[in-house]
Amino acid sequence: GKNVKIGKNCTIGHNTIIESNVKIGSNCKIGCNVTIKNTIIDDNVNILDGAVIGKKGFGFFPSKNTNIRYPHVGMVLIGKNVEIGCNNTIDRGSLSNTIIGDNTFLDNQVHIAHNVKIGKNCSIAGQVGFAGSSLIGNNVMIGGQAGISGHIKIGNYVKIGGGSGVVKSIPDNTNVMGYPAKDIRNFIKDSKNG
């Protein structure tokens, strides 16, 4: 597409489409059946098969007779040494950018909505969903099938157990689990008493 730059030593799989406004760094591996648009990718990024990155997110103004989409003019910014699993969807930002920090690994089937910002060195297991404008710190670990509500902040060094529903902000160095997610010690105590 238009305004596309691809760095040195990159490999791109079959049926992959690099649409407009994309910059790919050096030594990147992009799998098959990937679609990328409105995205800046740093060096040494590995994108597995079926990922869709940089399409507009789910945002609209509801009214009585129709829904009017609001604009998405932001980008997706992907840091160095990131891995994006199979069939991930990463929406472009609406009025700001969606960001994936350096050395973050995303398992398969992760959804990242518009304006989400994920820090460095995070590990996100399969089927995790991030609602729009959530802020994730550095060195965060999230178990499979967890859901992160929009417009909340997850601190640094947080661990979120699989299947958890995070509906409010979580401070640094906290381990949570359950729905709604709560401190892991309280979750275990409540489970024993339940």
pLDDT tens, residue by residue, 43-52 = 999 999 999 9
Active site residue 151: no
Please state, in angstroms and rounded to a whole number, the distance separating the CA atoms of residues 193 and 183: 16
Q: What is the mean pLDDT of residues 157-181?
A: 97
The reported pLDDT for the residue numbered 134 is 98
pLDDT grade for 187, boundaries at 50, 70 and 90: confident
The reported pLDDT for the residue numbered 194 is 65
Structure confidence by residue, pLDDT tens digits, 5-23 = 999 999 999 999 999 999 9
CA dihedral 142, 109, 131, 122 (to 10 degrees): 30
Structure confidence by residue, pLDDT tens digits, 55-77 = 999 988 888 898 888 889 999 99
Please state, in angstroms and rounded to a whole number, the distance separating the CA atoms of residues 12 and 59: 31
The reported pLDDT for the residue numbered 96 is 95
- Residue 5 and residue 21 in contact, taking contact as beta carbons nearer than 8 Å: no
Please state, in angstroms and rounded to a whole number, the distance separating the CA atoms of residues 23 and 25: 7
Structure confidence by residue, pLDDT tens digits, 75-109 = 999 999 999 999 999 999 998 999 999 999 999 99
Q: Choosing from 14, 72, 111, 114, which is the catalytic residue? A: 114
